[in-house]
Structures are given as C-alpha cells and as structure tokens.
Structure 1
C-alpha cells in the first residue's frame, strides 16, 4: 500500500488557550482514527507543525481542509512524499504543546525518549528534521 506524507507549518489566527488547543487535538485525533491517518502535531507560541500520513486521497483531502480552516493562516507546505510504510503507525495524532511542556522537557526522560523516536524516524529526511528543529528553537534557542 502506498502512503502519502505531508509536513506543514501554520500560524494560529488567535492565540489559543491550552483548553482550545486540547480540544483541537482531540478533534484531530478522532477524525484521524476514523480515516486511518497517523502523524504528529506540535504547537508553540501560536505556531503549528504537523506531519500527517495515510492513503493519498485521504491526505490530500485532509490537507485541503486544513488549508481552509479559519483557526490558522500562513499554511506552508514543507514536504509531500510517497512512502512504502508509515513513519508513525501507532500515533493517530501524537500531540505536544511546547508552551505547556517545554519547561519540563529536560527533566522528563519519557519526553526525551519520545522526541528521540521522532528524530530517529526523520533520520533519512534531513530537511524535515531541520524544519522540526527550527520550529522547536523559536523561543528556546540556546537552551539545549
């Protein structure tokens, strides 16, 4: 089975509260489970980074819906690639809110292990890995 993977970034139209972000994540996760979409969603200071993978028609329709969603703007497509297998088959929507979690990351071994899994999955995709690192460094440059 052929898999299509898309990575994009966007900016929130308004600053979302933590509760609003959790609601958005739950909506994504529920929709993704029913449509067999997997991936991850990262949030930091009004910016989103999302990687989604699944059947090509489903991913294209999902991305078209995302581009029209009024909750964000400046949707920038960073990559679109065909895969032979999923990078994140067990994550209907892995979500991290770095406004909330970042102060605790250095003390949380589980979070570091999870980030290591994401980085490992992107080992053969240096451009995507760089997009992710740039996203995570926005506010916290020099902390690591």
Structure 2
C-alpha cells in the first residue's frame, strides 16, 4: 500500500453506559486483533462515558470498520470529526493505542466532547478536527 492510499477517520461517541475496566480491556483486545487483520492503526481514548477514536489505513478498511462501529450497541451519538487522506500514519506503532481517563480528568473530557450535554449542539464544544487529532497524539506520546 502506497502512502497516498492512506486515510484517517476521527469520531466521538457516547457510551450507552459507563464502561468497566474489564469491558474496556475486552474492547481493546477485540479491536487490536481486528485492526491487525485489517492493517489498521489508531488510538482510542475513553473518559466519562465518551469515546474518541482515530483509525488509519486504506480507505476501504477504515470506512468499512466505521460502518460496523456505527452499528455497535455499546455506544450512540456518533459524530464524525474528520475523514481525509494522510501522507503517513501518526499511530503506526499500534494496532490500537488506548488511554482511559480517570475520574475528574474523564469528566472534563466528557464535558468537552460529549454531545449529550445540555443544548446538544456543537457550540462551545471542543469538537474540532485539529484539536481532536492533537489530543489523541498527546495521549499516544504518554503511552510510549
């Protein structure tokens, strides 16, 4: 696969319930196995009932997986932040990097990115593509 054949896709969603550590580990194991098979890389961030994920790979693999994610009953209110061609992978070291935000940090993250907050609009939310990618990259750096 040539470098021009890569895209990344970033989305946010709201968990149907606050996920336990066991549930998150199961999700992560499942994601890493599937992503390795599909030659996908990325990062998953979870906190306060909100997911943010970036997926990198071929357009067919990324969009195919996103369509499956849209039907996943573990979350709702998916919001596609960005989908575009990329020159190279930002998360090449992982089939799926992961970071779970704890307590107060998770609540601030959820408040910033959740669409279930009062008003349900995007006004005042941190849901902007450049910010989302930078946030994911920062957490990826802490995992190395």
TM-score higher than 0.5: yes
Q: What is the CA deviation profile of residues 36-63 of structure 1, one whole-angstrom value per residue up to 9, with x for unaligned ones? A: 0001000001100000000110001000
Please name the residue that 1:51 is paired with. Answer: 54
Displacement of 1:89: 1.1
- Does the Cα contact within 8 Å between 1:43 and 1:99 map onto a contact in 2? no
Please name the residue that 2:101 is paired with. Answer: 98
Q: Per the alignment, in what secondary structure is the counterpart of residue 66 of structure 1?
A: helix
Query: Partners of 1:66 and 1:12 in 2: how far apart?
Result: 12
List alignment gaps of at least 5 residues for structure 2: 107-127, 137-144
Displacement of 1:84: 2.4
RMSD (CA atoms): 2.3
The answer as to 2:62 corresponding to 1:62 is no
Q: Per the alignment, in what secondary structure is the counterpart of residue 42 of structure 1?
A: strand
Q: Per the alignment, in what secondary structure is the counterpart of residue 130 of structure 1?
A: helix
If the length of structure 2 is used for normalisation, what is the TM-score?
0.71
Q: What is the CA deviation profile of residues 86-115 of structure 1, one whole-angstrom value per residue up to 9, with x for unaligned ones? A: 121111100001127x69xxxxxxxxxxxx
List alignment gaps of at least 5 residues for structure 1: 104-126, 136-144
Number of paired residues? 112
Displacement of 1:4: 1.2
The 3 A distance-change label for structure 1 pair 83 and 41 is same
Moved over 6 A (4+): none
Query: Partners of 1:20 and 1:35 in 2: how far apart?
Result: 22
Q: 2:14 aligned to 5, 11, 14, which one?
A: 11
Displacement of 1:16: 1.1
Please name the residue that 2:39 is paired with. Answer: 36
Please name the residue that 2:110 is paired with. Answer: none
Please name the residue that 1:139 is paired with. Answer: none
If the length of structure 1 is used for normalisation, what is the TM-score?
0.71
Query: Partners of 1:133 and 1:88 in 2: how far apart?
Result: 12
The answer as to 2:129 corresponding to 1:128 is yes
Displacement of 1:81: 0.6
Displacement of 1:15: 1.4
